[in-house]
Chains A and B, each alone.
Chain A
Amino acid sequence: MYLTKDEECILRGECGWASQTCMKILSRLGDLFNAEKLIPIKSAHVSGVSYRTLGDAPIEFLKALADSGARVQVRTTLNPQSLDQEYLGKRLPSRLCEKQREILEQFEKMGLTKSLTCTPYYLQMPERGSHVAWAESSAVVYANSILGTWTNREGGPSALAAAVIGKTPEYGVHKAEGRQPNVLVNVKAKLQNHTEYGALGICLGKVLGDKIPAVSGLRDPSEEKLKQFSAALATTGMTNMFHLKKLAREEVEKIDIDDKDVEQTITDLSTATTKKPDLVFIGCPHCSKNEMKQIAQLIGNRKVRHGMEFWVCTSACVKEKCENSVKRIEQSGGHVLAGVCTVVSWTEKLGIRTIMTDSAKTAYYAPTLNKAETILAPLKECLKAALKG
């Protein structure tokens, strides 16, 4: 890969170890994927924040970077953490809280925004057509497909390296030719709700590999339904994006998805034998303002059942903007957890064995990451299970 004189100086270590290490990461990845050069990015989004998934290993590296002066050159947001101070932090061992805080401190030192969300586009909408370096696969697919923002699927360390240098290697979906659809998906299933859109993503991701689909047959889906589809597609596949348009070329591979495929996926993602969950969880990916409002309206005056946990996850930013909805959810006995992701939290330490959710992505991960059984069902059914009356 071609490097400018300035970039070469950084690579030689003339600007210190931290930027040298970050430049090494970018230039080697660029070589690996046959990029010709580095291009400037408008923002970065870093995954690998939860102490639950990180463990102790990365703390030393993050500390070394922060202490030797690494600072982000562009606006850089952070994925959710494993616990919040208000609720989970009070119920989990203090050692876990301290370790989680230590991780956040390193990121803050480097200048990252403590956004703690998997939906950074709800905080600040990225420019259409701009190049960014985002980790968090659900946001990557959503950004490329819905927001028209161009990003490869970065890992935690490569997104951080891109943030510190302010550039990313130009390959994959950063190039127009890398964004062309190469498989046609015809959705014959009549999708009704978020959960079914998620199931479609899980089902498709398994067969697509890293191909880019042109999806037809979706009936005027909301952005939130497409958010579920994006998250699920990235869960089982390596796809970076999809198109919602008819494909002009006819000679490509075609895949049909019918009602049975979606139904079967939902059945497979519901592993629980019991109908009574310990936790009802909404907010994977993090809820939008619209979703917060919808949940609050559906709750009405109902109360959470005795012995049941009911969590709604979103960013602190969205939570602040939805005061009335938050009040309604909390009055019911539910908890609005800001900056947290249930899947990367310690649910099993709270005695949670069965998780009910409307998110196909959560249902896919919970058996391994949360060691929990799952019930995947639409929002209304989730609320019915969580609430009395």
Chain B
Amino acid sequence: MQPTTLKGRVIVEGKCRAKALVSEKPISFLGGVDPADGRIVEKNNDLCGVCIKDKVLCFPHGHGSTVGSYVLYSLAKKGLAPKAIVNHTADPVVVVGAIIANVPMVDQIDITKVRTGDTVEVDAYEGTVKILKRKEA
């Protein structure tokens, strides 16, 4: 297939290729992600129970406490952080978290175009998300 390329804005530079994990709902890193194992624990999140480790984590935007930024740092130190973060609208909590955890991040991406399980390449120097391979049905 011809890869679909979505163009957004660079927040934290970096480049990676991994499987996408797409949450329709906003994510709060404080209280919403378990810092011990990287699983989403927010009860009303569509990805509750799923681990974000090594994924390209796509979600509309963050919400909740600014302590959430520190949680991302802690996840990165334990090797549990996502490979990249893709947002529709970046918010300060996630931006600060991605900076201190050094996780590549882009925003202004239409994340509804990406599906969980797709293989994607995030180029957070150019601000692009390329869908290389759709998840097999």
> Which residues of A line the B interface, CB within 8 A?
21, 24-25, 28-29, 32, 47-48, 53-58, 60-61, 135, 155-158, 161
Option from A25, A47, A55, A60 in Cβ contact (under 8 Å) with B96: A25
| Known pairs A21-B100, A25-B96, A25-B99; A47 contacts B66 (CB<8 A) | yes
Q: Write 24 A-B pairs (CB below 8 A) sorted by A numbering.
A: A21-B99, A21-B100, A25-B99, A28-B11, A28-B12, A29-B95, A32-B11, A32-B90, A48-B66, A48-B67, A54-B70, A55-B35, A57-B35, A57-B74, A58-B67, A58-B70, A58-B74, A60-B74, A61-B73, A135-B66, A155-B66, A156-B67, A156-B70, A158-B96
Chain B, Cβ-Cβ closest to A54: B67
Counting CB contacts under 8 A, is B49 at the interface?
no
A60 near B66: Cβ-Cβ < 8 Å = no
Residues of chain B in range 39-86 having any CB-CB distance to chain A below 8 Å: 65-67, 69-71, 73-74, 77
Q: Could you say which residues of chain B place their CB within 8 Å of the CB of A21?
A: 99-100
Q: Are A61 and B70 in contact (CB under 8 A)?
A: yes
Q: Which 3 pairs, one residue from A and one from B, show the smallest C-beta to C-beta distance?
A: A155-B66, A58-B70, A57-B74
Cross-chain contact A56 with B35 (CB below 8 angstroms): yes
Interface residue? B92 (CB, 8 A): yes
A-side contacts of B99, CB under 8 Å: 21, 24-25, 28
In the complex, besides A55-B35, A158-B96, 15 extra interface pairs with C-beta distance below 8 angstroms are: A21-B100, A25-B96, A32-B92, A48-B67, A48-B70, A53-B67, A54-B67, A54-B70, A55-B67, A56-B74, A57-B71, A58-B74, A60-B74, A61-B70, A135-B66
CB of A246 to closest CB in B, whole Å: 33
Give the number of residues in B that approach A within 8 Å (Cβ atoms): 19
Interface residues of B (CB under 8 A from A): 11-12, 35, 65-67, 69-71, 73-74, 77, 90, 92-93, 95-96, 99-100
**Residues of B contacting A57 in the complex (Cβ-Cβ under 8 angstroms):** 35, 67, 70-71, 73-74
Give bound CA distance, A53 to B31, whole Å. Answer: 10
- Known interface pairs A157-B66, A157-B100; A29-B73 also in contact (CB < 8 Å): no
Q: Which residues of A sit under 8 angstroms from B66, Cβ to Cβ? A: 47-48, 135, 155-158
Are A32 and B95 neighbours in the complex by a CB distance under 8 Å? yes
Give the distance to chain B from A288, nearest Cβ to Cβ, in Å: 26
A292 to B99, CA, bound (A): 43
Contact B100 A29 (CB under 8 A): no
Residues of A within 8 A of B12 (CB): 28
Which chain A residue lies CB-closest to B95?
A28
* Distance A161 CA – B35 CA, assembled complex (angstroms): 23
Please give, as numbers and ranges, the residues of chain B lying within 8 Å of A48 by CB-CB distance. Answer: 66-67, 70
For A155, the closest partner residue in chain B by CB is B66
A60 to B12, CA, bound (A): 21
How far is it, in angstroms, between the C-alpha of A156 and the C-alpha of B74 when the chains are bound? 16
Most buried by A among B66, B90, B93, B95: B66
Residues A61 and B74 in contact, CB atoms below 8 Å apart = yes
Give the distance to chain A from B8, nearest Cβ to Cβ, in Å. Answer: 13
